[in-house]
Amino acid sequence: MARLAAAAQAAGALSIILSCTAHTHAQITDSPPSWAYTYNPPDFKPPPDDGQSRHVPDSTASYTVPQTRDRFLAPDWHPDDHPAMPTVVASGRPPDVYACGFCHRASGTGGPESADIAGLPVAYFIQQVQDYRSGKRATARADRIPQAWMISVAKAANDDEIKAAADYFAAIKPMKLVDVVETETVPKPAVAGWFFVTQGDEREPIGTRIIETPADIGRFVNRDARVRFIAYVPMGSVAAGRALAARPEIACSTCHGEKLTGTDVVPGIAGRSPTYLFRQLYDYRYGFRAGPDSKPMIDVVKSLDEAHLLPLAAYLATLER
């Protein structure tokens, strides 16, 4: 219960559902997989502030619980890990531009519920924010708070703020923080703060899911950018994904580079959160990502069955960045 209670701290930072502009997208026969588009149960509430300061390993900093839940503050546990944060990353601009480093962490590492944006090419970063503004980049679950916040911030931020954030995150070397584990059963998960937590000894069949969870829940909800993640995937997923990535009609390396770590204009896909990767593949497949540079990805994903998306995401997550 202590792990679940600690995880619940994150919900205070994700408590307001923002409305999104409606757009027309491809029809989805079934709802998107709930394991990839995690959503808090209706009765989920963060625990009350206990008045104690929070600390993380290898840091002399301390923050209160309200500070770790403040959307206009990016807790900076490890300032030597990144350049000086520009204002838009460190504290945003009230009332509408939340600190980029709040959701994505000071070093851009994010989490399964958001995105790792460290090392993204500047032009790509700016284009994605513009796509959020215009509605060309959306999601299969528009009511998920992380995505709703991103759309809202993109519309409120000015061009100088977007450029400052793009330059800052591009200068940070991305880190591989996820360990992929193939398994037939998984520790029974629960959703807390739009991500999975696991507790106790009870296990259940993994089925056709990826269950990705912070290795240290406390560090994650305190917004420590160094926290690692465990991604449980079905047996055989990695080999199946490796074969898919090498198919001539897919050939991920054609655009994303020989080692899939990206180029000066195309983002890397190696070593990223497999949950995030799955959501992006799914959103491309069903027309929720339609920006000016999206056609190559749309063409690739349309050549796949939906069942291929999970193993492809699992394989990509095993690669070094």
Percentage of residues of the chain with pLDDT beyond 70: 91
Band (pLDDT 50/70/90 cuts) for residue 197 is very high
- The reported pLDDT for the residue numbered 4 is 40
Question: For residue 57, is the peptide bond before it cis, meaning its omega torsion is within 30 degrees of 0?
Answer: no
**Mean pLDDT, residues 127-142:** 96
Per-residue pLDDT tens digits for 47-80: 899 999 999 999 999 999 999 999 999 999 999 9
pLDDT above 50 for 7: no
CA distance 157 to 29: 35
pLDDT above 80 for 180: yes
- The reported pLDDT for the residue numbered 193 is 85
What domain range is 43 assigned to?
Answer: 2-318
Is the distance from CB of 115 to CB of 276 less than 8 angstroms?
Answer: yes
Per-residue pLDDT tens digits for 77-93: 999 999 999 999 999 99
- The reported pLDDT for the residue numbered 212 is 98
Q: Which of 219, 245, 243, 214 is nearest to 230 (CA)?
A: 214
Is the distance from CB of 91 to CB of 72 less than 8 angstroms?
Answer: yes
Is residue 238 classed as helix, strand or coil in its secondary structure?
helix
Task: Quickly count: other Cβ atoms within 10 Å of residue 321's Cβ.
Answer: 19
Please report which helix (H) or strand (E) contains residue 188, including its range: strand 185-191
Band (pLDDT 50/70/90 cuts) for residue 143 is confident
Q: Which of 102, 134, 147 is nearest to 282 (CA)?
A: 147
CA distance 147 to 140: 10
pLDDT above 60 for 188: yes
CA distance 133 to 249: 31
Band (pLDDT 50/70/90 cuts) for residue 115 is very high
Number of domains, the chain: 1
